[in-house]
Structure 1
Amino acid sequence: MEVDVSRLLHLVETLEQSGTNGETVDKVLKNSGLTRKDLAPTAKSFSYKKEVLFVREASEALRDLTFGARAGLTWKVSNSLTGYISKYSKDLRAAIENTARFHEIIDPAVQYDLRISGNFAAFEVRWKDASYAKFHRHTEFLMFAVLSRMRAISQSSFYPIEIRFQHEVRRSAGDFQKLAGFPVIFGAETLEMILPLAVLDLPIPTYDLRLREHLTEYGERLLSEQGRVKQTLRSKIEGILTSALPARMLTSDEVAASVGMSARTFARRLNEEGTSFRDVVDELRFDLSKTFMKDDMSLSEIAFALGYADQAAFSTAFKRWTGVSPSSFRAQD
């Protein structure tokens, strides 16, 4: 899936302003599958996955878990279709509801809904492609970027009641709250932003009914013309496995049943994609283990979160992946 280049340019600018040098920026780009040519003035779009990887690599280069959140909080201008629809909506509630309809045009991974409950509103984000849920730093970027855009179009520096993330960050939780200036919750059941009801009534000064109607008509046309982005079986599996964690790693038969396949068909389809269920589980565990280490989780917590019987079993697997023990790997950081 290709996405607009403007967010990547903003992320690169944020990294450059973080006191790092050009060599580090080039290394982060390279590790994300990008080059300086991808940032040329003629560039229009690039792979969504590369943006996700850039946030992770930049956070690791800076040794700063809050990089994605910081970049999100300074994201002001969106030149996407949904960006313009929100800009010309009547109030913040209309902007959220109008753009939710067309968000899948610009983002292959998530969709969102506005839920009203009692005296607050929940801006709830759900994964269309749950394989992206493992990229915690990019998830933080997206949520804080949404908040920044809401503030920008309403020209109001309002504060949410809280933002809730499903993943954990352990000792760094206070850093996120200090950065945000309001409660930031980790380990929640749902990925969402909780807003005071009054925020939904904030007027948007750039409201233009005619332009908004023209853009939504165009959006409807795009939706009818574009087919649904087809997920690979591997992506579906990663999403199912990630959703079942912590502590429970589903079996091949359980996941096959979840996607409506027999065990034989399941194995054959994975083979056609050049992989196996065991490889998917192994690579997902390895990827998540590195993220959990960055999140300051203890080795016993990581072993539990990834569904290992004990810390020793996790340590054996990690040494097979990297050639070094988890504690040695962490000491190298």
Structure 2
Amino acid sequence: MTRISANRLRHAAQVYQQELTATLGFDRILEAVGIEPQILAEQNARVDLQREAAALETACEALDDPTFAARAGLATPGAKTLLAYLAQASDNVGQVFRFAQRYYALEDPDLRFDLDGDESEPTICLSSDILSAHQFPRHREFLVFGLYKRTQQIAGPGFGEMSVLLECADEEFCARLAKLAECEVTGVQAVNGVKLPVGGFEHEITTSDAALRAHLLKHGDERLAQQQQGRTGLSAKVIKLVRSRLPGNLPSGDEVAKELCMTRRTLTRKLSDEGTNFKSLVETARCDLAKRLLLGTDSIAQVAFLLDFADQAAFSVAFKRWTGATPAVFRKAKS
């Protein structure tokens, strides 16, 4: 599994240690998810994305407070990364996020920014082929509210009101998050991200510096060129293969292993090393496609058939397990 900087996890640990209700040390949380606690003391430490996500989920459970992850995201400090410096040197917010799409892989190859909507009223969405939103919802909230806070920091005053979009189907919980962030939080969405104000991409960055930007871009391109080609993890390859078969009959684990030129045992072992399994990846692919199909004109029964479910009831049960909402509720919310 690709390893990422431990900076986000280190920040979450600092916020956790300030919690008055914390009875379990963060080192115990790290141990529970397979992370050596001393790793956070190392300046250039790296951790697995799956384990970072599991640590955030476990912290929320330990505090018996599902809002902790979002609060940790909202407490995000200013960063000192290539992207952070590029943001300061950019001409406008739109340029910042186009650079983020280009260079975020240098910080976290398993997450990316996608642009939804249009240039005048964009939504910046967080997506991953490895880590699905329904798998670790608290971790996704940590990232989304961190994105919200960083956008505020980058844009500065006068930017206008933003809102947060979540897959979460719990209206009461969304209301709690909205109160914390002091912004609108809308649930039962097909994406997890931040909706910018009208014209948000044109908002000028007051610290724009063309010369510095050119130097940073050159450095960023050099780093990208140095990255190993074809470093895509096995998990991403499995998801891509499963998606290529949908809509239609789902491939079995044996079929996928054969197509990837390995035995089923090797496939299972390597996916386990990446912190996942074949069933979880199939559900990720099905869930993502289900949400896209439900936004179209196909009936729920047709969507169930296209995703290779035995019947509509089985699909509805699975979809609610994935997202917290039934297909009908999800479709109604998006209509």
TM-score (ref. length: structure 2): 0.70
Is 1:62 aligned to 2:63, yes or no?
Answer: yes
* Segment drifting more, 227-236 vs 174-183: 227-236
From the superposition, tell whether residues 224 and 263 of structure 1 become closer, same or farther in structure 2 (CA, over 3 Å). Answer: closer
The residue that corresponds to 1:280 in the other structure is 278
CA distance in 2, matches of 1:188, 1:109: 22
Contact 1:16 1:22 in 2 (8 A): no
Question: Residues 135-284 of structure 1: matches in 2 within 5 Å?
Answer: 135-156=136-157, 158=159, 160-169=161-170, 171-228=172-229, 230-237=231-238, 251-253=250-252, 264-265=258-259, 268-274=262-268, 280-281=278-279
Q: Percent identity?
A: 22
For 2:61, give the aligned amino acid.
E
For 2:40, give the aligned amino acid.
L
Contact 2:92 2:202 in 1 (8 A): yes
Is 1:9 aligned to 2:21, yes or no?
Answer: no
Is 1:134 aligned to 2:135, yes or no?
Answer: yes
The residue that corresponds to 2:286 in the other structure is none
Question: Residues 103-118 of structure 1: matches in 2 within 5 Å?
Answer: 103-115=104-116, 117=118
Is 1:96 aligned to 2:76, yes or no?
Answer: no
CA distance in 2, matches of 1:183, 1:143: 13
From the superposition, tell whether residues 159 and 68 of structure 1 become closer, same or farther in structure 2 (CA, over 3 Å). Answer: farther
From the superposition, tell whether residues 119 and 126 of structure 1 become closer, same or farther in structure 2 (CA, over 3 Å). Answer: same
For 1:36, give the aligned amino acid.
P
For 1:281, give the aligned amino acid.
K
CA distance in 2, matches of 1:178, 1:215: 38
CA distance in 2, matches of 1:250, 1:191: 28
SS at match of 1:109: coil
Superimposed CA distance per residue, residues 194-230 of structure 1 (whole angstroms, 9 cap, x where no aligned partner)? 2113433333333222221111111111111212464
For 2:105, give the aligned amino acid.
E
Superimposed CA distance per residue, residues 239-272 of structure 1 (whole angstroms, 9 cap, x where no aligned partner)? 8889x9xxx997435x88xxxx668546954421
CA distance in 2, matches of 1:33, 1:157: 44
Q: Number of paired residues? A: 285
Tell me how far 1:127 sits from its aligned partner: 2.1
SS at match of 2:196: strand
Superimposed CA distance per residue, residues 138-188 of structure 1 (whole angstroms, 9 cap, x where no aligned partner)? 111111111111111232375644322234346422212222222222221
CA distance in 1, matches of 2:270, 2:36: 31
From the superposition, tell whether residues 182 and 220 of structure 1 become closer, same or farther in structure 2 (CA, over 3 Å). Answer: same
Contact 2:35 2:47 in 1 (8 A): no
Contact 2:35 2:51 in 1 (8 A): yes
TM-score (ref. length: structure 1): 0.71
From the superposition, tell whether residues 241 and 27 of structure 1 become closer, same or farther in structure 2 (CA, over 3 Å). Answer: farther
Long gaps (5+) in structure 2: 272-276, 284-312, 321-335
CA RMSD of aligned residues (A): 3.8
Tell me how far 1:12 sits from its aligned partner: 0.4
Tell me how far 1:5 sits from its aligned partner: 2.6
Contact 2:166 2:192 in 1 (8 A): yes
SS at match of 1:153: helix
Superimposed CA distance per residue, residues 82-127 of structure 1 (whole angstroms, 9 cap, x where no aligned partner)? 1221122122222112222111111122222445638522223332
Is 1:306 aligned to 2:318, yes or no?
Answer: yes
From the superposition, tell whether residues 98 and 276 of structure 1 become closer, same or farther in structure 2 (CA, over 3 Å). Answer: closer
Is 1:33 aligned to 2:31, yes or no?
Answer: no
For 1:129, give the aligned amino acid.
I
CA distance in 1, matches of 2:215, 2:169: 42
The residue that corresponds to 1:294 in the other structure is none
For 1:48, give the aligned amino acid.
L
From the superposition, tell whether residues 205 and 55 of structure 1 become closer, same or farther in structure 2 (CA, over 3 Å). Answer: same
